[in-house]
Structure 1
Amino acid sequence: MVQRGKRIWFDLPGVLTAVLLTVSFLFPVQSVYATEEPMAPVSTAPFVLQRTNTHLPGEAAKLDGQLSKSGIQKLLDEANRTAIPDCNSAALTNVSGVIDRWCFNSGDNNTEEWYPQGITGTGDAQDDDLWGSKRAILVSWYHKSKGVRVSFLDPATGKYRHVLLVEPYTNSYGNPSYRAVKIHAGGIVWYGNYLYVVDTTKGFRVFDMRYVFDLGASSNGNTSNKDLIGRHNGIYYGHGYRYVMAQVGAWTVPGQQTGSSCEPDGPPRFSFVGLDRSTVPDSLITGEYCNPPNPENDPALYGRMARWPLDASTGELKTSADGRVYASEAYRVPKAHAQGALALNGTWYLMTSAGSTNNGKLYKSKPGGTPTYRTAGIGPEDLYYWPAKNELWTLTEYPGKRVLYSVRP
């Protein structure tokens, strides 16, 4: 090279190299792994759900006679925590094209007791008449003993509040009570009045936005004791949280996997869930997180994704004549360690992770096609599409590296 004044002049090969490096830096190439697998179809035969826990609506109704209820609008108005907009997060190292981002407050960002997993929002719910005019992003967290909480974040204000998910039951004294929901909650979708939460080896737990109870506004509620949950001596507790949301149903696969590795042809796992409103009818997309011993050599063990029909008139899964729900299509996951998926206008999106120090990848593919990918955050999880903004949202899970962020599809 030759330096002239403050400009540096390169010979032609050097110019080409510099230009290519610059273009690659500014516009990351949609690369493909050498061992990439196409989205091959698989049998839908194992993908069957049946309704269970049919007693839960009655149990939730009993709680309605004991506790004050809260609408989602009121819950957002009274949010008590503040998220940080446009925050800097180590989880976004090497990630380009970020449109929006939010970090939790320091306590939620750093805690090792609760881990964020699933994401949904009013973009999934859509119907303003059901919940109010505010917009919200919802995030599920799991705790080994306290169960699952869901954060309701108002992106207009940055305020958010946690709501504890509970399973109602009648205690030994004949009084309505509730217990913790001890599942991983790896994915969530808000559809109509219902919050669908995946239960890894079983299917879905279903919660009702109309049964959000406010312990702070109830004369028999306690919001200070972080150890107790349910009814004790006539007082209702929620591990210190003000709001609890009741489960009203479940959908379960007839058989369940029992091992730590995914079975390529057995009953499906439910590691995450996303919504597709571009189909008729609307549909849920579920998939399996699998960790095969040789992930680059065992594509049959990467896991599977499936599509489940929804009934927009009821907000429930669409049943066949026999009362069961059958997946309309299923595919092999193109890479192991899947954490989230959804579909939009015939294109499927899949998020994969690579541990607490490496970036994940966001894949994009048509069925039968070879996926391409873009770099995702460190520790990425579930996926959520916000139609009004045309944005794909995800979140990252590791302490100190937790951020909600969006990119274009």
Structure 2
Amino acid sequence: MKHRGRHRRRRRGKALRAALAGTALALTAAATLISASQATVAGDPGALKPLTGPDGTAALRLTEDRVPRPWLDRLASAMGRPVGVGDALADADRTLTDAADCPAAEKQALPVEPAATRAYCWGAADTKGWRPGAVTTSGDADDDGRWGDHRVILSAWSRDTGTAADGQARVAFVDASDPADVTYTWALLAVPVDGGRDYRALLSPVSGMVWYQDKLLVTAGSGDREALYVYDVHRIQRATVGTDAVGRVTGGWAAAGARFVLPAVASYRLPAGPGVPRPDSISLDRSTAPDSLVASERVPADAGRPTRLWRYAFSADPARSGLLATDSTGHVPVVEAFRTKTTDVRGVLAYGSAWYLAGAAREPGGHGTLWRQDTSGAQATECGADATRRCWSGRPGPLSYGEKTGEVWSQSGRMLFALPLESIDRSVD
């Protein structure tokens, strides 16, 4: 279901302005000579190995929990009529900076090869005390790449101040319709409590996020009993008090300084027990039928075990728009799973038979590796005079692919960037 009745699209003949000239990202003088410490060639992880049978996939099965509709209605009644994505974008109060005007130190985090074709940086003052996380776009949400009249990017950040507020998660709603004027505003991710009479902050770093149809699925941290939380973009609420508090306060509703708040409408829980992998990175794959959610766990390089990759199907039931498909028992089964020798995976993407895995840098200030893997083998870009494979972004982040534009969006530090998927494929062929 593509929600053509819910939000009107006008396909403008005007294409997004070509990759910002001159910026193209004269990245660090072709990423300055990569240091000798980066020159070590990353070990080839080889082919993906299928995980089959219940022993391999039972630990990945999800249980769906829905927030009771009366709770959501009670909260909306108290806070006022929910608004949509367009309303949030119309209230954007901040602007991203074009890469040409970003600090050189920030641009060091951009990929060496292939180079980004669009990039922006977040302001230091606006993101101080917050750690960047997942990215998804309207290219995930709808197959025409837009939400209504807008091209939209959602960027998740988590509080990182060493205080009790750590783990609070907020999402920037970014209007990227005009590449020369990219604006955004913040929405706090929340969870209804007390029967919908109040809400608390979601205290989970968001390392993965997918916007599909009218739902936003985000990963939950290891301290949370849930694996994924689900938000409805038609249920964005306005905060009325601009304090650092969260929830009902004297005079109205607060969202840790954000203008908007998103209350969760559902969650997905993994089985209890040891050895159960948590989805750390997620993305949408539109090359499958039905569309699917792909996930990877994060396994440290010294853990001595492989990383698991898997996927769930999205529901084709119009009454379950944006939710995962359940079986006859009401659970969400895994439809495909693999193991890989790639470790420290910080971003995952699947399209066709290929899986793209963004691996972490091996030293502070270094670059990561972007592997393309399938059941036949693995390839990665080589760059620099020493043909290192450490060519990807400095602090690898999530990957989000929009079929309509052919772009992959990611985030590294305070840099938000995009490049064509075909340029990634060319760089590893």
Give the TM interval when normalised to the shorter protein: 0.7 to 0.9
Matched, 1:236 2:253: yes
**Aligned-partner Cα distance in 2 for 1:56–1:338:** 35
Matched, 1:310 2:314: yes
TM alignment of 1:134-283, pairs within 5 A:
134-144=150-160, 145=165, 147-155=168-176, 156=178, 157-170=181-194, 176-201=197-222, 202-215=226-239, 221-223=240-242, 225-226=243-244, 228-233=245-250, 235-257=252-274, 266-283=275-292
Q: Where in structure 1 are there 5+ consecutive unaligned residues?
A: 1-21, 26-30, 216-220, 258-265
User: In the TM superposition, what is the alpha-carbon distance from 1:129 to its structure 2 partner?
Assistant: 12
Task: Report Cα offsets for 1:379-405 as digits up to 9, x if no partner.
Answer: 0111100112111111013xxx53333
Q: Contact between 1:91 and 1:403, CA under 8 Å: does it hold in 2?
A: no
Alignment partner, residue 352 of structure 1: 359
Alignment partner, residue 37 of structure 2: none
Alignment partner, residue 73 of structure 2: 61
User: In the TM superposition, what is the alpha-carbon distance from 1:244 to its structure 2 partner?
Assistant: 0.3
TM alignment of 1:53-92, pairs within 5 A:
54-68=66-80, 69-87=82-100, 88=102, 89-92=107-110
Higher strand share: 1
**Aligned-partner Cα distance in 2 for 1:127–1:344:** 15
Task: Report Cα offsets for 1:95-146 as digits up to 9, x if no partner.
Answer: 433221111123245x2x1111101010000167995211101111111525
Describe the shift of the 1:108–1:380 C-alpha distance in structure 2 as closer, same or farther (beyond 3 A).
farther
- Match for residue 284 of structure 1 among 293, 304, 316: 293
**TM-score normalised by L of structure 1:** 0.80
Matched, 1:389 2:405: yes
Task: Report Cα offsets for 1:222-271 as digits up to 9, x if no partner.
Answer: 12x12x111134621111211001101101111255xxxxxxxx212111
Amino acid corresponding to residue 118 of structure 2 in structure 1 = D
Q: Contact between 1:57 and 1:249, CA under 8 Å: does it hold in 2?
A: no
Q: Where in structure 2 are there 5+ consecutive unaligned residues?
A: 1-29, 34-39, 382-390, 423-429
> Secondary structure of 2:49's match?
coil
Describe the shift of the 1:123–1:256 C-alpha distance in structure 2 as closer, same or farther (beyond 3 A).
farther
- Match for residue 373 of structure 2 among 365, 378, 395: 365
Describe the shift of the 1:92–1:55 C-alpha distance in structure 2 as closer, same or farther (beyond 3 A).
closer
Alignment partner, residue 402 of structure 1: 415
**Aligned-partner Cα distance in 1 for 2:255–2:159:** 14
TM alignment of 1:52-131, pairs within 5 A:
52=65, 54-68=66-80, 69-87=82-100, 88=102, 89-92=107-110, 94-108=112-126, 111=128, 113-126=129-142, 131=147
Describe the shift of the 1:332–1:129 C-alpha distance in structure 2 as closer, same or farther (beyond 3 A).
closer
Aligned length: 351
RMSD, aligned CA: 2.4
User: In the TM superposition, what is the alpha-carbon distance from 1:347 to its structure 2 partner?
Assistant: 1.3
Amino acid corresponding to residue 84 of structure 1 in structure 2 = T
Describe the shift of the 1:150–1:371 C-alpha distance in structure 2 as closer, same or farther (beyond 3 A).
same
User: In the TM superposition, what is the alpha-carbon distance from 1:283 to its structure 2 partner?
Assistant: 0.4
> Secondary structure of 2:288's match?
coil
Task: Report Cα offsets for 1:264-317 as digits up to 9, x if no partner.
Answer: xx21211111000110111000111111426xxx3xx23211010101432210
Q: Contact between 2:67 and 2:264, CA under 8 Å: does it hold in 1?
A: no
**Aligned-partner Cα distance in 1 for 2:251–2:329:** 42
Amino acid corresponding to residue 45 of structure 2 in structure 1 = E
Amino acid corresponding to residue 398 of structure 2 in structure 1 = D
Q: Contact between 1:187 and 1:272, CA under 8 Å: does it hold in 2?
A: yes
Answer with 1 or 2: which has the greater Rg: 1
